[in-house]
């Protein structure tokens, strides 16, 4: 009996040691991945600069900084700035929607990936869809979009900005949507770039049905839209989608 207890004690100790080693390794991976993302963000910020405005309402590319970033990666299509949610991301576009899921702006392997526009859309599309990762216990990429699931945060976080190589666009959030499965007939096709009249009418109807709350604003047939999509949980079809409409635009400044 004593021998059995001793074997059991050693076995439990071994299991505990393995658990500690595994947990430590996971923490190391999180630290390593976060550090890699920070390095990339810092390099990009050196080119774009920091937002020095007191109200934190404007931060965007200039023609000069856009050209510098495009020289690094020709897949650049824009820059997203969401001041109230501390989101500031370069936006890329590739030949498919998988390439930048696990690559940095510099095309190195990086689990956090890079925010990207749907491969089949252009700057002329009525709806432009941007994809970004949600990372648990992190503020990286699109993680902070989850703050909009709470209606109390809407008023302070209803405005975001996007810049391409010509203009700075201001958007107002119209819908915060919980997308559960691609098989649902009531889903909002946020991935669609352009619509027929009938498709747009269905888009709005489904958005009204799927919204988490009423923002007291709507979209019209000719409104230009931007949809921000991120995950809700790992290994799931669940998605959080933020749909904004363009409310203003100004030409990109030279520098």
**Residue 66 pLDDT greater than 60, yes or no:** yes
Strand pairing class (127-131; 116-117): antiparallel
Q: How confident is the model at residue 235 (pLDDT cuts 50, 70, 90)?
A: low
Q: How confident is the model at residue 178 (pLDDT cuts 50, 70, 90)?
A: confident
Residue 47 pLDDT: 75
Between residues 34 and 194, which one has the greater pLDDT? 194
Percent of the chain with pLDDT over 90: 56
The residues near 17 (Cβ < 8 Å, ≥ 6 apart) are none
Crossing angle of helices 2-48 and 63-72, in 10° steps, is 130
Between residues 186 and 170, which one has the greater pLDDT? 170
Mean pLDDT of 115-133: 96
Torsion angle, alpha carbons of 39, 44, 47, 51, to 10: -100
Ordered by where they begin, the domains of the chain are: 39-251 (2.40.260.10)
Mean pLDDT of 187-201: 93
* Distance, CA of 40 to CA of 48 (rounded, Å): 13
* Distance, CA of 89 to CA of 82 (rounded, Å): 9
Q: How confident is the model at residue 29 (pLDDT cuts 50, 70, 90)?
A: very low
Q: How far is CA 64 from the centre of its chain?
A: 25
**Residue 67 pLDDT greater than 60, yes or no:** yes
């Amino acid at each position: 009996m004593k021998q059995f207890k001793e074997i059991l004690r050693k076995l439990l100790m071994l299991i505990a040691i393995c658990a500690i080693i595994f947990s430590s390794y996971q923490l190391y991976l999180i630290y390593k991945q976060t550090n890699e993302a920070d390095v990339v963000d810092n390099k990009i910020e050196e080119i774009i600069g920091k937002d020095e405005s007191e109200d934190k309402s404007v931060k965007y590319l200039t023609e000069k900084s856009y050209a510098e970033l495009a020289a690094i990666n020709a897949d650049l299509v824009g820059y997203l700035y969401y001041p109230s949610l501390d989101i500031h991301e370069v936006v890329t576009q590739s030949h498919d929607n998988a390439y930048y899921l696990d690559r940095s702006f510099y095309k190195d392997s990086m689990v956090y990936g890079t925010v990207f526009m749907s491969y089949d859309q252009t700057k002329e599309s009525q709806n432009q869809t941007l994809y970004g990762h949600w990372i648990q216990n992190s503020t990286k990429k699109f993680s902070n979009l989850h703050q909009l699931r709470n209606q109390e945060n809407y008023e302070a976080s209803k405005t975001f900005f996007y810049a391409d190589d010509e203009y700075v666009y201001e958007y107002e959030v119209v819908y915060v949507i919980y997308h559960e499965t691609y098989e649902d007939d009531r889903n909002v096709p946020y991935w669609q770039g352009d619509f027929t009249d009938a498709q747009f009418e269905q888009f709005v109807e489904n958005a009204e049905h799927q919204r988490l709350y009423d923002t007291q604003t709507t979209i019209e047939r000719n409104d230009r839209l931007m949809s921000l999509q991120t995950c809700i949980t790992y290994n799931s079809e669940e998605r959080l989608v933020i749909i904004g409409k363009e409310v203003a635009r100004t030409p990109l400044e030279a520098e």
